[in-house]
Chains A and B, each alone.
Chain A
Amino acid sequence: MEWIFEPWPWYVSGPLIALIMFLLIFIGKGFGMSSNLRTMCTLCGADSKADFFDFDWKSQRWNLIVVTGAIIGGFIGANFLSNDLSVAINPDTINTLEELGFSSAGEAYLPTELYSWEAVGGIKALIILLVGGILIGFGARYAGGCTSGHAISGLSNLQLPSLIAVVGFFIGGLVMVHLLFPLIF
């Protein structure tokens, strides 16, 4: 059972994600996380500002429970199922990141240059995280889904729109990492 405390390899994690999708399908629901952001906006009163948020949020209550579970799962994973939180990425990637100023590469789960209170206090990291979040929320709703809704659920159902969205995800990601990162960091 010692393996459970190590990072889980892709051939364990990927099939488990498929299992999660099928559990939801067999309950009569679907696998999609970003729609919760819309529900949360409605709960915050956004339905009075735009009719996009004027819908029966109770029909999405089940998904809010799933997402609550995802928070608890993160807590369990980090506190009870891990000995070492560092992520062993490719040494070449570590070198590239060190050149960009990420000295925590290979030694942490998230870069302390972005995800620590010291970094966030320096405003730049704060803006990066906020802008990143805005792009995620805006893009996911514009595209009608995120990694779970399009890349896993939609492509599993051989949906061409999901393929277009996933190609878009990669264009955006590659532009960010290869063209914009050298300007930002």
Chain B
Amino acid sequence: MRSIGYLLIGIFFGIVMFKSEAASWFRIYEMFQFQSFHMYGIIGSALVLGVIGVQIIKRKNLKSFFGQRITFIPKEKSFSRYMYGGIIFGLGWALAGACPGPIFTLIGAGFMPILIVFAGSLLGTFLYGLLRKKLPH
């Protein structure tokens, strides 16, 4: 039953990524050229509502659909891993024009060369796993 819920949320997410054009290489390029408000509007409006909603959940102690406490796990404190990792991710995001969610959306949309990006992202994840202990975190 819950699996159907996850699937429906995923389908909805895929449709939003495609129809918002957040999965378009051109929109990512345009964003990094600061020549459109579109991507900033998407991320910004999601964020404003996200911040408000999370505050409401925390202050009103709202429970999940299943009556459990909602907990937000704080991210570990660090600078280097977020900055270095972030820069590496940003280089890839701009080059391939896709982030991990849209990679899957574009597979479904039928742009088959995205499978090369997907294979690369698995390889990159694997390389990180191998090198993790040698990297500053």
Contact = CB atoms under 8 A, between A and B. Distances in A.
Interface in A28-60: 28, 33-34, 36-38, 40-41, 44, 46, 49-50, 52-53
Nearest to B43: A151
Contacts of B90: 139, 168-176
Nearest to B93: A173
Contact of B100 (A4, A33, A90, A174): A33
Contacts of B121: 37, 133-134, 136-137, 140
A76 to B, nearest CB: 6
Contacts of A133: 92, 96, 103, 116-124
Given A18-B49, A21-B50, A147-B99, A135 B114 contact: no
A40 B104 CA distance: 13
Interface in B69-128: 70, 72, 74-79, 81-101, 103-114, 116-128
B10 A73 contact: yes
Interface string B11-44: 1111111111111111111111101111111111
A175 to B, nearest CB: 7
Interface size class of chain B, counting residues whose CB lies under 8 Å from the partner chain = 35 or more
Contact of A70 (B104, B122, B129): B104
Interface residues of A, number: 126
B68 A28 contact: yes
Q: Is the interface of B mostly helix, strand, loop or mixed?
A: helix
Contacts of A97: 26, 29
A121 to B, nearest CB: 10
Query: Among B18, B81, B100, B126, which residue has the most Cβ atoms of chain A within 10 A?
Result: B100
Contacts of B2: 27, 62
A52 B132 CA distance: 8
Q: Name the prevailing secondary structure of the A interface residues.
A: helix
B99 A136 contact: yes
A53 B44 CA distance: 33
Contacts of A37: 100, 121-122, 124-125
A180 to B, nearest CB: 8
22 contacts: A8-B21, A13-B16, A24-B9, A41-B126, A44-B122, A71-B14, A71-B104, A74-B109, A82-B18, A93-B35, A109-B26, A111-B26, A119-B113, A125-B113, A133-B120, A134-B124, A139-B88, A141-B124, A156-B50, A168-B89, A169-B90, A178-B32
Interface of A: 4, 7-18, 20-28, 33-34, 36-38, 40-41, 44, 46, 49-50, 52-53, 62-63, 65-79, 81-82, 87, 89-90, 92-93, 96-97, 105-106, 108-111, 114-117, 119-120, 125-126, 128-148, 150-162, 164-178, 180, 184
Top 5 nearest A-B pairs by Cβ distance? A69-B10, A73-B14, A168-B86, A133-B120, A172-B90
